[in-house]
Structure 1
């Protein structure tokens, strides 16, 4: 069962870029945007990552850090981060434990075929580790602006 708005998020440990293992609790004291994307280096995921990258300073002004996550392996995540110049880390969730915890694995249809994959989703977590907002079935265009607005609002409380 995914965390509900107002609930503390699960504190899972996952491998991430920069040869590190991170826990979500490592980010307490700052707000956190955790965004899930289907596959590194695909057009929609690249655009979404670039939009977050380009807004990193604005998020920092709102006391908010960014983490991206997908089922890609760490090598694919490292390449994606380096190629796009992302100033934030990417989580490799090959065993889907983080994806399952946030309930982002969904049955998807593409070209008439069904498969399980990540539904593009974003979560805004406050400085105490409590889920404050979620966006599911995200459309990339304009999404980062909406998340930034929510992060600013949360920081201003």
Structure 2
């Protein structure tokens, strides 16, 4: 099942599987080295890296009308921190600043809430202003500086966050 994200560009999201590896690899090739390093801490991601991500978290891909993968999102529990889910996002350079990352982040937040999470966590470079702006649009984050990076925590309930009764995302 697909979920439409943006009716003007017919972008939709669906659950990612390892069978999507060729599409995800193409997404990564469409991203600049700087964008890859900002998201992953390196410029190339091997298949086993995506396999680990799929094993430890729920993942979704955003597809453009041509079935081109233009974004990858993930959310999964942070070990040793009950109720905290990690958020991961990668949007192709040519498709950034169109609301795709925010839509995936909101989907991930709803998914995390439906699994009992109270906090969404993201680790980002302090200079990654687009990601930090996106996280601030999700709620009222707390930011902890760790050198050149920030550990950003967004509450999923309370002031500025969606209520606990927010429905879970539709299954894909």
- On whether the aligned pair clears a TM of 0.5, the verdict is no
Which one scores higher on RCO, CA 8 angstroms, separation ≥ 6? 1
Question: TM-score, length-normalised on structure 2?
Answer: 0.27
Q: TM-score normalised to the size of structure 1?
A: 0.29
